[in-house]
Chain A
Amino acid sequence: MSPLVCLLCCRKFELYSMAWNLKEDLRDCLVAAAPYGGPIALLKNNFRKEKSPGSRPLLEIYSASGVPLASVLWKSGQVVQLGWTASEDLLCIQEDGTVLIYNLFCEFKRHFSMGNEVLQNHVREAKVFHTEYGTGVAILTGAHRFSLATNIDDLKLRRMPEVPGLQKLPSCWAVLSQDRVTIVLLAVGQDLYLLDNTSCSVVTPPGISPHAGAYVQMAVSFNYCYLALFTDTGSIWMGTSSLKEKLGEFSCDFRAPPRQMVWCTRPRSKQRAVVAAWDRRLLVAGNSQECIQFVLDEDSYLVPELDGVRIFSRATHEFLHEIPEASEEIFKIASMAPGALLLEAQREYEKESQKADEYLREIKDQNLLSEAVRQCIEAAGYEHEPETQKSLLRAASFGKCFLDKFPPESFVRTCRDLRVLNAIRDYQIGIPLTFAQYKQLTIEVLLDRLVLRRLYPLAIRICEYLRLSEFQGVSRILAHWACYKVQQKDKSDEEVAHAINQKLGDTPGISYSEIAARAYDCGRTELAIKLLEYEPRSGEQVPLLLKMKKSQLALNKAIESGDTDLVYTVVLHLKNELNRGTFFMTLQKQPVALSLYRQFCKHQELETLKDLYNQDDDHQELGNFHVHSSYSSEKRIEGRVAALQNAVDEYYKAKNEFAAKATEDQIKLLRMQRRLQDDLDKPYVDYSLHDTVYGLILDGNHKRAEHLYRDFRVPDKRFWWLKIGALAEREDWEEMEKFSKSKKSPIGYLPFVEICMKHHNRHEARKYAARVTPEQRVKAHILVGELDQAADAAIEHKNETEMNLVLSKCTAATDSSVAEKINRAKAQSLKK
């Protein structure tokens, strides 16, 4: 099909011939078509008054090419308006102000209400609009008041101020978005009102003729920048939506208000045109006095787009847009633009004609070859027909051969993008995106839309073709696929789990727990558990398992993960979920969890700790528990004794006689210490047995010390060590001597020497030095400082080590005679 070129520089070409075989007229249906080549929703039979069960309205959703996606019999209330959200969900606005949200496949998602006021006064008219905040809904009620919600995902209802003196419905109105504020422009007869959050003001478009008449239709451009007003005198006023500037005016022959009026613009273009549609006529008016008229064969519906207008009817789907400069330059009749020449040159080249060279030379002479290539590449992007795209790209590629340094990126990128665009424009897929729309939408959103249409294989192929990273590309799509898969109720859990694992494997970025969560949301707990098995990170498994009340399994997983935080999470969850008995039983089976919980109890819930041990019959730990509390929590002696008595009982039960005996001894000691404390008025409690006895001796209470010594069967050696230590500290040398003679010392007499010397009493030390055993004599003499005698003893023993020891203590100045004596003895022993 050759592009239709006109003076206004608009062209209209067919996107699809519609596949839908529609019987009804479009005018008998509620119609909504989503921008960016989105789906079309039709609500049939909506306007019939009689509501017999057989003639219920039918909601149908089609792709832009008319391929049916889904349909559902409408069973809810009277629908006033249909509209699509930015994420391609269908909004069905009912008369009572309830808005029902359906997905592409006519599956109900949720609903919300536009408030009581709307409910009471009913919706008369509604519009769905898109701003930077998301998708919004505007309602005009029967009370002639406007209600707005700028973002349906974060619903905040706004009731607009009243228009003074408004007695009937406005003839036309529109939602504007200016400086992030959403406002309503409405026309009542010849008056225009602007409603913002707080006030209502009367406005007049600049430069409008006073005889223009009453406003009957208005249109706001896709980007909210421009406004067009149609009056009952057939005049179209065009200007900025801020109403500050007039762009042009056009008067046409028709007085009847157009059924639809939309803007046809293009980003970064100076041309603006308004498209108005009547029953059988389409008019394109620009800022000149010329206009283009098309005859419409049947009812048509206009869908404003970012860079043009889509027009669909029962039979066809067309696109009307301003011809981009690059295309115009190339395809203008007899154009001498470099791109046009290059295209011609390439054609001639293919015909093997030497004219190719002439054309090429002509471009090169003007030094415009790179400009020509650029034009061809750009124009290719604007073309819908793959053949035209190809010839333009071929020309660009041909031209590139004669250029040294033409950066290849733009060519490669355009080829790639066109390949993607052609794939999705395919009749089966039916997303007629233009190049500009595609760039605006971004590949990520496009992929989302493919996923939304469940076109997983195509989405994956595009990801692979564009070499997107697995994480944001293939993995994400697979995950979506899996989430869809788990909703297929007709397949068994095993089948689904297996299918998902086979396809997903260990693809990076796949979260099996998310898929499992979806399965659980669909009520398929068993499937969720199966899927969780594939989740490599235990940390991800646990929260869902808990949510599914599979606490046992969660506990196992948490323990396997080796993450104590996770185990605690589950344990404390269990503690709240189960009764105490079951909780303890559960812990019994999981020693790791048990030991963690015990630690927690040690600090937070001592009583629970005891219960735990009790349940376990762990008498050893119970004994330890009581011992611990005997000195940590109990302050009074009675309490401590009682705690220790408990410990004794438990230790006996644990067959730990040693601990039981030791604890009994401690009870005895405590009682004794208290008595001592009372009798002697000195602190004794909390000392060890050793220290208690030592203290007693230090205070001269030898009898009591003796008593303890016997009572507690303190070993003789210890008693002697500590007694002489204490006596020396007391410097009670008399008592020490008496003691030393009381019986034969079990530790010998060298310690006496040592302790006396430690307290610098050489005199006493000498006494004991005489009493030590022969083997220790040398050492004793050295300690006392009697080197001479030490030497004698050593010589007597004929012990060389001892002799050396003495020798090492000798200093040349004072002990030369001793040293000499030893040396002599050593020499003698050598001789023998």
Chain B
Amino acid sequence: MLLCLFLPQLPGKKDLFIEADLMSPLDRIANVSILKQHDVDKLYKVENKPIVSTSDQLCFLVRPRITNMKYVADIVNADKATGRSRKYKIIFSPQKFYTCELVLEEEGIYGDVTCDEWAFYLLPLDDDLLSMELPEFFRDYFLEGDQRWISTVARALQLLNSLFGPFTNTYGIGRCAKMVYEVWRELVEESEGDSQARRPEISHVFLMDRDVDYVTALCSQVVYEGLVDDTFRIKCGSVDFGPDVTSSDRSFKVLLNAQDKVFSEIRNEHFSNVFGFLSQKARNLQTQYDRRRGMDIKQIKNFVSQELKGLKQEHRLLSLHIGACESIMKKKTKQDFQELLKTEHSLLEGFDIRESTSYIEEHIDRQVSPSESLRLMCLLSVTENGLIPKDYRSLKTQYLQSYGPEHLLTFHNLKRIGLLTEQAPGETLTAVESKVSKLVTDRAAGKLTDAFNSLARKSNFRGISKKLGLIPRVDGEYNLKVPRDMAYVFSGAYVPLSCKIIEQVLERQGWLGLEEVVRLLNGNEFAPTEPVTEENPARETQRVILAVFLGGCTFSEISALRFLGKEKGYKFIFLTTAITSSARLMDAMLEAKV
């Protein structure tokens, strides 16, 4: 592991301070005992309070952020004030930024610390899922317009390109996707020399900005894995099941991936099927156990030594998942989950908007959940191309009354990013934007105008939905047991937009015929000039497609694309800046008190 290269550079006992964000990823690759082997004495979390470490050597593993630099600076300066001398080392993950050094310099501690980079780009969460574990990407890029992570993503792509490429067909949509693509192309050209010709394992790549499709990310998830994420928050592919799930007084940390036999079968299932499946599974397990009756001694011996352990393991997992289901059911029914879903579905379809608005209002008034309320408001805004002025004001007022005035800034953020806007033609441009648009002659400013356009973009959801047929025609009950399209991940009510675009582009090998949709999505699409078709169709290999989500993707989207892959004979690999969910999107927008 790379980190092990850095720790020995500070020989002897040392205390390691880790930023909260990096704890889970680190945990995935290095447990405490490995750290202890490298003389890490104590582990601390980087947080805003005075430190108590007595070690003479302090090592910080942090993201390259100014606040973290100030944190280190405070420690170093406090030590200086008391005349204490220690060694300090900062390890930046995944890279160091110039501003960090600058802040260290301004704080007068540049000479006191040594710096290193831990180029940790990709964390494989599962067989088909790679995460860059950069949750801040979403806010940094889409809200602050900070492009610092663009090159990081491009480098990750280049890494995959050199390992599994060369990528021959690259498609994408979104301004960020385009920039990543361009930076990546430059990297490819620079390293052209050392790439040897070989058969590409990943031939197709699809890059997509999160802001192309907010709707999908804002919907409640009803596929098992998504629901577990919404309910318990999956961190770095593992989840903490609390006492209410384990029906004991302990919490269990469970790794959720394809290795988990039980989970891998239900992760992509609609929640309504999961219980049935689990009970079937339980019955099967029972029969397996029951087999030992009527066995002779030798068979029993075999059974105990070979099968029992596996069965026990399966048993344990099964009971955990059943516990999780129960817990989900309990939580969801309490807040009348069905009603919530119904509201979401009518928002998606564009029916009964008034009723939905009152539902949201009541939701806020009753203080059901701050992020849930915010999410519903955003969903309403995104599907309706903004709220009508009256609702915009009253819902915001209600929200401020419920949750405090600092959310005035939250609303400002949501407006900037285009998640919660007001329908008022001609008045949408803020002061900055109108100023910027005066400067379009400048090449760089032109880029920025694009940026702001996309920040406060119109969602045009209705039009897109109609063009792409995102709301399936209902004839009779949608059979969730035998899904017929990707809509099953939302109970058959809605085909996720992001996945539909990918499906369409792959099918058409480009954007031809999707011009209107592209226009409604504000353009910035790209495709290879000459798509390289499979040179040898007879060769029965699976088409492997790398789906790259800039700003995060949800488990529902992953499930939907896994389904699509199964239908069409593709294999999807996912690369995302982080796993996201509606709650995480909302959290990123919050301006909460510190």
B403 at the interface (CB under 8 A from A): yes
Residues of B within 8 A of A659 (CB): 408, 412
Evaluate contact between A618 and B362: CB separation under 8 angstroms: no
When distances are taken between beta carbons in the complex, the residues of chain B under 8 Å from A590 are 444-445
Residue B183 at the chain A interface, CB threshold 8 Å: yes
Q: Which residues of A contact B365 (CB under 8 A)?
A: 715, 717-718, 721-722
Asked if A151 is at the interface of the complex by the 8 Å CB criterion, the answer is no
Does B448 have its Cβ within 8 Å of any Cβ on chain A? yes
Are B398 and A718 closer than 8 Å at their CB atoms? yes
- B66 CB, nearest partner CB in chain A, Å: 4
Contact B147 A663 (CB under 8 A): no
Is residue A405 within 8 Å, beta carbon to beta carbon, of the partner chain? no
Number of residues on chain B facing chain A (CB within 8 A): 55
> Which of B70, B144, B398 sits near A595, CB closer than 8 Å?
B144
Contact A721 B366 (CB under 8 A): yes
Contacts of A718 in B (CB 8 A): 365, 398, 401-402
Which residue in B103, B150, B396 is a CB contact (below 8 Å) of A658? Answer: B396
What 1/0 mask marks residues of chain A from 468 to 502 whose CB sits below 8 Å from any chain B CB?
00000000000000000000000000000000000
Select from chain A the residue with minimum beta-carbon distance to B593: A631
What A residues does B409 contact at CB under 8 A?
624, 627-628
B150 lies within 8 A of A562 (CB):
yes
User: Which of B66, B150, B443, B445 is the one whose CB lies under 8 Å from A604?
Assistant: B66
Task: Report A-chain residues with C-beta under 8 Å of the C-beta of B448.
Answer: 591-592
Q: Is the CB of B430 within 8 A of A620?
A: yes
Partner-contacting stretch, out of B37-45, B94-102, B464-472, B515-523: B94-102
B406 touches A631 (CB 8 A): yes
- B429-482, CB < 8 A from A: 430-432, 435-436, 439, 442-445, 447-448, 451
Q: Are B447 and A592 in contact (CB under 8 A)?
A: yes
Q: Are B398 and A603 in contact (CB under 8 A)?
A: no
Check if B286 is an interface residue, CB within 8 A of chain A: no
Distance of A725 Cα from B368 Cα, bound (Å): 12
Contact yes or no, B404 A688, CB < 8 A: yes
- Interface: A291 (CB within 8 A): no
Question: Given A591-B448, A631-B593, is A600 in contact with B405 using a C-beta cutoff of 8 Å?
Answer: no
Q: Are A564 and B183 in contact (CB under 8 A)?
A: no
Contact A632 B179 (CB under 8 A): no
Contacts of A592 in B (CB 8 A): 145, 147, 444, 447-448, 451
Given that A632-B594, A721-B366 are known contacts, is A662 also in contact with B408, CB under 8 Å in the complex? yes
Q: Which residues of B contact A563 (CB under 8 A)?
A: 151
Asked whether, in the complex, the Cβ of B98 is within 8 Å of the Cβ of A632, the reply is no
When the two chains form their complex, are residues B67 and A603 in contact, meaning their CB atoms are under 8 A apart?
yes
State whether B397 touches A662 (Cβ < 8 A).
Answer: yes
Given the known A-B contacts A595-B146, A604-B66, are A560 and B401 also in contact in the complex, defined by CB atoms under 8 Å? no
Shortest CB–CB separation between residue B153 and chain A, in angstroms? 11
Q: Which residues of B contact A562 (CB under 8 A)?
A: 147, 150-151, 179, 182-183
Contact status A627-B66, CB under 8 Å: no
Tell me which residues across on chain A come within 8 A of B444, comparing CB atoms: 556, 559-560, 590-592
Chain A residues 517-571 with CB under 8 Å of chain B are: 556, 559-560, 562-566, 568-569
Residues of B within 8 Å of A589, CB to CB, are: 439, 442, 445
Contact of B148 with A by CB under 8 A: yes
- Pair A603/B445 contact, Cβ less than 8 Å: no
Q: Does B393 contact A (CB under 8 A)?
A: yes
In the complex with contacts A562-B183, A595-B144, A658-B406 CB distance below 8 A: no
Flag whether A666 is at the interface (Cβ < 8 A): yes
Q: In the assembly, what is the distance between CA of A168 and CA of B157, in Å?
A: 76
Q: Is the CB of A600 within 8 A of B66?
A: yes
Shortest distance between the CB of B131 and any CB in chain A (Å): 22
Shortest Cβ distance from residue B251 to the other chain A in the assembled complex, whole angstroms? 27
Q: Is B79 an interface residue (CB 8 A)?
A: no
Please give, as numbers and ranges, the residues of chain B lying within 8 Å of A617 by CB-CB distance.
431
- For residue A628, which residue of chain B has the nearest CB? B409
Contact B148 A654, beta carbon cutoff 8 Å: no
How many A-B pairs fall under 8 Å by CB?
134
**Which chain A residues lie closer than 8 Å to B193 at the CB level?**
508
- Chain B contact surface mostly: helix
Contact code string B371-414 (vs A, CB < 8 Å = 1, else 0): 00000000000000000000001001110111111101100100
Q: Are B362 and A717 in contact (CB under 8 A)?
A: yes
B401 lies within 8 A of A690 (CB): yes
Q: How far is the CB of B420 from chain A (nearest CB, A)?
A: 13
In the complex, are the beta carbons of A712 and B408 less than 8 A apart?
no
A596 touches B98 (CB 8 A): no
Of the residues B147, B179, B401, B447, contact of A714 by C-beta under 8 Å: B401
Chain A residues within an 8 Å CB radius of B148: 564-565
Contacts of B447 in A (CB 8 A): 559, 592
B339 at the interface (CB under 8 A from A): no
**A689 in the interface, Cβ–Cβ < 8 Å?**
yes
Q: A688-B400, A690-B401, A715-B398 are in contact. Are A654 and B431 (CB under 8 A)?
A: yes
Q: Counting CB contacts under 8 A, is A599 at the interface?
A: yes
- A363 and B445 alpha carbons, distance in the complex (Å): 83
The minimal Cβ–Cβ distance linking A712 to chain B, given in whole angstroms, is 7
Q: Which of A689-737 contact B (CB under 8 A)?
A: 689-690, 712, 714-715, 717-718, 721-722, 725
Residue A572 CB within 8 A of the other chain:
yes
Listed residue (B66, B183, B396, B400) with the most chain A CB atoms within 10 angstroms of its CB? B400
Bound state CA distance, A688 and B410, in angstroms? Answer: 15
Q: Is the CB of B144 within 8 A of A599?
A: yes
Closest Cβ neighbor of B102 among chain A residues: A572
B401: chain A residues at CB < 8 Å are 688-690, 712, 714, 718
Closest partner residue, chain A, to B99 (CB atom): A568
A627 touches B102 (CB 8 A): no
A620: chain B residues within 8 A (beta carbon): 412, 430-431
- Collect the chain A residues with CB atoms within 8 Å of residue B403's CB: 688, 690
Q: Are A688 and B402 in touch, CB under 8 angstroms?
A: yes
> B151: which A residues are within 8 A, CB to CB?
562-563
CA distance A628 to B402 in the complex (A): 19
Residue B313, interface by CB 8 Å: no
**Residue-by-residue, is B58-91 near A (CB-CB < 8 Å gives 1, otherwise 0)?**
0000000011001000000000000000000000
B55 sits at the interface (CB 8 A): no
- Residues in chain A near residue B244, CB distance under 8 A: none
**A600 / chain B contacts, CB cutoff of 8 Å:** 66, 99
List A contacts of B103 (CB < 8 A): 603-604
Q: Which residues of A contact B182 (CB under 8 A)?
A: 562
**Contact among B102, B396, B435, B436 for A568, CB-based, below 8 A:** B102
Tell me whether A690 and B402 are in contact (CB under 8 A). Answer: yes
A588: nearest residue on chain B (CB-CB)?
Answer: B435
Q: A618-B432, A654-B431, A658-B393 given as contacts; is B445 within 8 A of A591 (CB)?
A: yes
Question: In whole angstroms, how far apart are the Cα atoms of A666 and B405 in the complex?
Answer: 7
A364 CA to B193 CA in the complex, in Å?
49
Least CB distance, A253 to chain B, in whole angstroms: 67
B408 with A603: CB separation less than 8 A? no
| Shortest 5 CB-CB contacts between residues of A and residues of B | A603-B66, A718-B365, A666-B405, A565-B98, A688-B404
Assuming A591-B448, A616-B431, A689-B401, what are 10 further A-B pairs, CB within 8 angstroms? A562-B179, A565-B97, A592-B448, A619-B431, A620-B430, A628-B406, A632-B594, A665-B400, A688-B402, A690-B402
A-B contact pairs, 18 of them (CB 8 A): A564-B146, A564-B147, A565-B99, A568-B97, A568-B98, A568-B99, A591-B432, A592-B448, A616-B431, A616-B432, A627-B405, A631-B406, A654-B431, A662-B397, A690-B403, A717-B362, A722-B367, A725-B366
